[in-house]
Amino acid sequence: MPQSGTDKVLIFEPRGEKFEEVPRIVKTDEEWRAVLTEESYRVARKKGTEPPFTGKYHNFHGKGIYRCICCGTALFRSDTKFESGTGWPSFWAPIDGHNIRTAPDTSLFMTRTEVLCARCGAHLGHVFDDGPPPTHQRFCMNSASLNFDPDHA
């Protein structure tokens, strides 16, 4: 991921269709707890997961952008969302590869690829190689890690 230094990150902002160099967001657990619900804190900051079919976006069909609950970084467009049948909101591509990062996850006795917000490090979910064309990827996200920003056009 291109960066100009350890305290900045390059992020694509769809409102304006441009890349922006923004400060990386680092907060203490106390600071995160003060601005997030208990569920969002557990999922986004402590790498939890919400039960399937319970998140506010698993069966949601609004038009707009899904953003990080912690820092507002644009993550997914609604036109890449699809019904995966898994019980979590699923997308076939991120809004831009700069806005997320991935890391190996070997928890729960399996190997998966964790998806994180590139700006604040929030745990978003996991990506799998069983999605639809054109990418054949399934970004399986937690609603508790997302905010929806509706299109105003």
Rounded to whole angstroms, what are the CA distances from 45 to 40, 41, 90, 104, 116? 8, 5, 20, 17, 10
Dihedrals phi, psi of 121, to nearest 5 degrees: 80, 15
- Name the active-site residue from 70, 71, 120, 140: 140
User: How many CB atoms lie under 10 A from the CB of residue 21?
Assistant: 12
Rounded to whole angstroms, what are the CA distances from 36 to 9, 62, 129, 151? 23, 23, 31, 24
Decide if 140 is catalytic. Answer: yes
How far is the C-alpha of 121 from the C-alpha of 29, rounded, in Å? 13
Cβ 48 vs Cβ 115: under 8 Å: no
Catalytic residues: 140
